[in-house]
Amino acid sequence: MKIIHVAGARPNFMKLAPILRELKKMPEVHSILLHTGQHYDVNMSDVFFDDLNLPWPDINLEVGSGSHAFQTAQVMERFEPVVLSEKPDLVLVVGDVNSTLACSLVAAKLDIPIAHVEAGVRSFDRNMPEEINRIVTDTLSELLFTPSLHASKNLLNQGIPAEKIYFVGNVMVDSLLYALQIARKRSVWKRWGLKPGSYAVLTLHRASNVDDYETLRELLAVIAQISQGQPVVFPVHPRTSHRLMDAGLDALVQSFPGLILCEPLGYLDFISLLSDARVVLTDSGGIQSETTILGVHCLTLRQNTEWPETIEHGTNYLVGTNQERILQALDEIYKNKRGQPERPEGWDGKAASRIVAVLRRHFHLQ
């Protein structure tokens, strides 16, 4: 059996790594790792192959950046000849980036079965490009591997037949637990003379936050206030760096005395930084999951989340971009007003093995 595994952006590598490790145990399966090149910065993609013990990609489409339409079209145009040449039995896509959508469309039109890992995740906000990618990919997929019971319910509500839906758990947690012991030994906070539990971590990259300059200014104002009381480490996403320069805010950010700016970190370094943080402020989906497993409080700087279980069971607070709400949530955290967090069902490091078990049954593999 031949499977093409599609990766395009940083989170995709975390989700594919444990699946590829499980499939290596099956000599009857030939895995082809395809990198679309959607993320091409060394710390946004290349370093992940070392950190996650991933094999180097067999194929790189080298698409690069561009508008959503341009990027999606480029991936489709370059992926189609690969599928026609390789003739895979399955195209496995993960997450919700443009590469996920583009490769699913190509596979569907060529009548190749699609498996979607992290299916059914919904923010119910169609202004997010990722939401459109999720809905379309789930509609086209034959095997839908969900990370939560919420996600499975979303698919049923969308009208997808129950026999296509498999609740397997969160495969990102597999990567986190696999790497955690090594990551913690790195003590990345030492680079800036910090101590465990004494600092916050900030990440920003969503268009709704960084492309809207009024929202960006409001967030920076509250970060300036927070950084007066504790250091805030801010690995700056390339997109955010460009937006700060475009808005003329880069000098302002550099003037905040407690804000520590750095380049994007590799996976192990970033997990090391997260694991010893006092609190994390982010607009990322994946970080909401990671902080829940790490037991680190997380403020999600968005109006919605695709991971409701991180609020119900974990350490996540959905605070939007309002300064008062953000500071109020911080006050709750510092006063320990929330009870002991729990690990959501299926977030146990065994999602990849459950995915491979389904593939065995579905394709009648020994």
Instruction: Please give the span between the terminal C-alpha atoms of the chain, in angstroms, as a whole number.
Output: 11
What is the pLDDT at residue 203?
97
Between strands 30-35 and 259-262, the pairing is unpaired
Q: Which of 30, 150, 205, 362 is catalytic?
A: 205
Q: What is the CA radius of gyration of the chain?
A: 20
Full set of structural domains in the chain with CATH: 2-169+348-362 (3.40.50.2000), 181-334 (3.40.50.2000)
pTM beyond cutoff 0.85: yes
User: Which tokens is 329 given?
Assistant: 């949530």
Residue 5 annotated in active site: no
Task: Answer whether residue 35 shows pLDDT above 90.
Answer: yes
Which SS3 state, helix, strand or coil, does residue 298 take?
strand
- Phi, psi torsion values for 277, nearest 5 degrees: -75, 155
Instruction: Quote the CA–CA distance of 7 and 11 in Å, as a whole number.
Output: 9
Q: Provide the pLDDT confidence category of residue 112 given band limits of 50, 70 and 90.
A: very high
Per-residue confidence (pLDDT) for residue 256, from 0 to 100: 93
Question: Residue length, the chain?
Answer: 366
Per-residue confidence (pLDDT) for residue 54, from 0 to 100: 84
CA atoms within 13 A on the CB side of 233: 29
Whether residue 270 is predicted with pLDDT greater than 70 in this model: the reply is yes
Summary mean pLDDT of the chain: 93
- Closest C-alpha among 77, 115, 83, 94 to residue 171: 94
Of the pLDDT bands very low, low, confident and very high (cuts 50, 70, 90), residue 168 is very high
How far apart CA 84 and CA 97 sit, in angstroms, is 23
**What pLDDT does 338 receive?**
66
Distance CA 180, CA 217 (A): 34
Percentage of the chain beyond pLDDT 70 is 96
Whole-number percent of the chain with pLDDT over 90: 82
Bridge-based pairing of strands 143-146 and 232-235 is unpaired
In tens, the pLDDT along 315-331 reads 999 999 999 999 999 99
Which of these ranges, 42-56, 129-143, 237-251, 279-293, has the smallest mean pLDDT?
A: 42-56
Q: Are 267 and 179 in contact (CB under 8 A)?
A: yes
Q: What is the pLDDT of residues 271-301, one digit of tens each?
A: 999 999 999 999 999 999 999 999 999 999 9
Question: DSSP 3-state assignment of 60?
Answer: strand
Q: What interhelical angle do 285-294 and 10-23 show, nearest 10?
A: 60
| pLDDT-derived band at 9, boundaries 50, 70, 90 | confident
Maximum distance among all Cα pairs of the chain, rounded to whole angstroms: 61
Q: Residue 42 pLDDT > 70, yes or no?
A: no
- Give the pLDDT of residue 339: 64
Strands 114-117 and 143-146: parallel
User: Which residue intervals of 247-284 are DSSP H helices?
Assistant: 250-255, 267-275
Q: Do residues 60 and 33 touch, judged by C-beta distance below 8 A?
A: no
